[in-house]
Amino acid sequence: MLGLKNTLRNAASGMNTSQAGLATVGHNLANADTDGYSRQQVHIGNRGPLRIISGSQQISQAGQGATVQNIQRAHSTFLERQLLRDRMERGFFQEQSQGLKLFERLFDDQASNTIGPAVDEFFNAARDLSQEPHRFGNRQMFMLSADNIARSFNEFAQQAHSVREDADRTVQANVERINELAEIITATNARIGTIEAVGITANDFRDQRDIAIKEIAELADVRVLIHRDGGAQIDLANGFSLVQGSNRAVLSTIPDPANAGLLAIEHTSLSGVTTEITNSIQTGEIGGLLNLRDTVIPTHMGEMDQLAFTFVAEVNAIHQAGVGLDGLGGRDLFDPIGAVAGASLSISVNQAIEADPGLIAAAIDPAALPGDNRNLLALADLQTAPHAVLTNVTFNHFYSEIIRSVGAGVNRSEQLSEFHQTRFEQSDSLRESIEGVSIDDEMVDLSRFQKHFEASARVMDTVNRLMDELMQLVR
């Protein structure tokens, strides 16, 4: 027998489901602007039917109303995966291009202490001195210009190193941030595990975890695997496990003596094994910073060292062949440098000559002092001579080529940074289109659930009145 009571229950279930719908609309609207929020949808299903037997043995079923089956977040696993990749690439080029721009400033023509003009000035001072090699004042000017070259190289090396150190400090901060994020992920993993064990989807915790994962992806290469039980497994750079369920590995930084004391990154696994993973991190902000710190800047530094080394060797060779005002030769103008590596940091002028510019070997013939300027003429000719170790070009050409390649590097890095930013925006826009909250949609749902609620309320009202009628009969 199908009773009014059943109808009342059905009406009540309708009101319940529409309330759940309204609550979700409210939740969505409240989070319309929340980062990483995925819009949630209420799935309403009907409650299993009631088997009833009417008068003549015939069995039929009566509906029992509706129920909220689940509340799910709109989520595209494919897009999210794509976005992680985009984040890593974007992070890499963003950091690399920012660091390179700092490095590029060391080649700014407007700054007076750049090496190109200093070298030009040195050779011009030699030519100036060649007019009047007997003049003490000119000799002093020449020494000043030699000293200026040494200082420019030194300053360049120091500033380039400080760009590397800046990158280093950011790497350290980022590594610490990864540890924090891994902590957050293990915590949310645990909560998602307990919630989902009873068959409920932990939408909001999953969103929170996704935010943390996205942030890690900005920083380094990650691979994410969501297990059936809802737990996320995060692998870092070539399969170093970072998070597994509610356990996590630890990243740490340690000064690397083989790399000028800059930091190496170490990974201590769940089982306590420590491995250095510095070179395995190839994307993300850390990847970009490491690339800048360990590849891009050292490459250019190497070129500058080669320039400084060759310059000192060639200038000294000529200087040794000449004689000073005391008639003696065989002196170096710059202190000899032993190795190419670090040459620009260690270049310095010979203190003895700086103290007594008379020792500058302007002359070739000790019998033709002080007017013999032939050694200075030979020295000045170095400026236009190609040097085999410098790819057969002049000092300045070599330096200009470094400028070009730095400029091109910045340019390329900037363009790629912009490209990946745009790509990220496109993917994010697609994600937003699936997962984001549209106020229009929510307004439609709001009206829909409101009408739904009103209709169920009307049914209840009707049943109520029928009940009243029945009661009237009894009275």
Partner 1 sequence: MRVTEKQRFVLSQLRIGKQRVRQIKLTEQLSSGIRVNRPSDDSIAAKKVSVLQTEYSRIEQYQKNVEAAHRLLTVADHTVGESSNTLFRLKEIAIRGLNSSMTPSDRNNLAEEIATLRDHMMTLANTRTENRYIFGGYAMSTPPYDNAFNFVGDTNTTSIAVGDSSLVKATIPGGSAFGDGTAATVDVFDNINQLETAVRLGIEVDMQNELERLEESIEQGIEARRFIGLQLSRVEASKTILAYKDTELRAGMAQLKDVDFTSAVSQLKVVENALQATIATSSRLMKGTSLLDYL
385-404 positions binding partner 1, by CB under 8 A: 396-397, 399-401, 403-404
Per CB under 8 A, which of residues 404..423 are in contact with partner 1? Answer: 404-411, 414
| Cα–Cα dist 294/275, whole Å | 19
How many other CB atoms are found less than 10 A from the CB of residue 27? 17
Nearest residue to 73 via CA among 120, 19, 31, 135: 31
Token representation of residue 341: 């590596």
Q: Are 312 and 115 in contact (CB under 8 A)?
A: no
Task: State in angstroms the smallest separation of the CB of 131 from partner 1.
Answer: 5
Question: How many whole angstroms from its chain centre is CA 77?
Answer: 23
DSSP 295: I
Examine residue 147 and tell whether it contacts partner 1 (CB under 8 A). no
Which CA distances in Å does 179 have to 182, 184, 268, 272?
Answer: 5, 9, 11, 15
CB of 275 to partner 1, least distance (A): 37
Which amino acid does the sequence have at 17?
T
Tell me the per-residue interface mask from 18 to 47 with partner 1, x by CB under 8 A, - otherwise. --------------xx--------------
User: Is there binding between residue 132 and partner 1 (CB under 8 A)?
Assistant: yes
| 438 near partner 1 (CB under 8 A) | yes
We find the least distance from the C-beta atom of residue 216 to partner 1, in angstroms, to be 22
Q: In terms of CB distance, is 127 or 191 closer to partner 1? A: 127
> Does residue 340 contact residue 311 with C-beta atoms inside 8 Å?
no
- Cα–Cα distance list, 302 to 71, 140, 287, 337, 344 (Å): 60, 31, 21, 14, 9
Q: Which of 247, 274, 391, 433 binds partner 1 (CB under 8 A)?
A: 433
Is 334 strand, coil or helix? strand
- Asked whether position 94 contacts partner 1 by CB under 8 A, the answer is no
User: Which letter does DSSP use for residue 393 in this model?
Assistant: B
Nearer to partner 1, 34 or 275 (CB): 34
Candidates 83-91, 127-135, 200-208, 285-293: pick the segment binding partner 1 (CB under 8 A).
127-135
* CA max distance for the chain: 146
Q: Looking at beta carbons only, is 105 or 465 nearer to partner 1? A: 105
Phi-psi region of 77 (alpha: psi -120 to 50; beta: other; left: phi over 0): alpha
Scanning 88-96, 280-288, 307-315, 436-444 for contacts with partner 1 by CB under 8 A, the matching segment is 436-444
For 344, the token pair is 């620009």
What is the nearest approach in angstroms of partner 1 to the Cβ of residue 370?
Answer: 6
Tell me the closest approach of the beta carbon of residue 262 to partner 1, in angstroms.
Answer: 25
Helix (H) or strand (E) holding 450: helix 439-474
Please, which residue, 110 or 472, has the CB nearer to partner 1?
Answer: 110
CA angle, 417 then 288 then 406, to 5°: 70
- 441 part of the interface to partner 1, by CB under 8 A: yes
Q: Which of 226, 341, 446, 457 binds partner 1 (CB under 8 A)?
A: 446
For the segment 346-385, give every residue that binds partner 1 (CB under 8 A): 363, 365, 367-374, 377, 380-381, 383-384
Contacting partner 1 within 288-327 (CB under 8 A): none
Task: Find, among 415, 414, 384, 400, the residue nearest to 107 by Cα.
Answer: 400
- Residues lying near partner 1 in the complex (CB under 8 A): 32-33, 101, 104-105, 107-109, 116-117, 119-121, 123-124, 127-128, 130-132, 134-135, 363, 365, 367-374, 377, 380-381, 383-384, 396-397, 399-401, 403-411, 414, 425, 429, 432-434, 436-441, 443-444, 446-447
